Amino acid sequence: MISPLVEAGAVSAALLTEKGNIYVGVCIDAACSLGMCAESNAIANMITNGESHIAKIVAVMPDGKTGIPCGACREFLMQLDASAGQIEILCGYETKKVVQLKMLIPDWWHTKTLNME
């Protein structure tokens, strides 16, 4: 806990860029609802370091198991670049299940804008 109104680290995330770099982030939950998901935090870390193309991402939930990014994070990921639908998401560490982001957002609303067709 950071303060009585802010806590961090319940969920963590790591992403691998197309250049082979790894960026991490943790969720930050605030009483005012202006927190940040772990995936978004990792993306911000990546962008701060001059990159924007993700190859793989994983989120680790409070119970230590992998989880799928929330809807807001999926949308954020899709908007990064035209190849974002190819991002691999580890859904199950035990089963080694991996899905591509485009499978989690079928018929995405901005496919034409980023020339994804």
Encode pLDDT of 1-15 as tens digits. 889 999 999 999 999
Encode pLDDT of 38-64 as tens digits. 999 999 999 999 999 999 999 999 999
Nearest to 17 by CA among 80, 76, 74: 80
Rounded distance, CA 36 to CA 14, Å?
14
* Joined tokens for residue 16: 């691998």
- Is pTM beyond 0.85? Reply is yes
For the chain, give every domain's residue range.
6-104
Mean pLDDT of 67-88: 92
Residue 106 has a CB neighbour count (10 Å cut-off) of 6
Rounded distance, CA 14 to CA 59, Å?
7
CATH of domain 6-104: 3.40.140.10
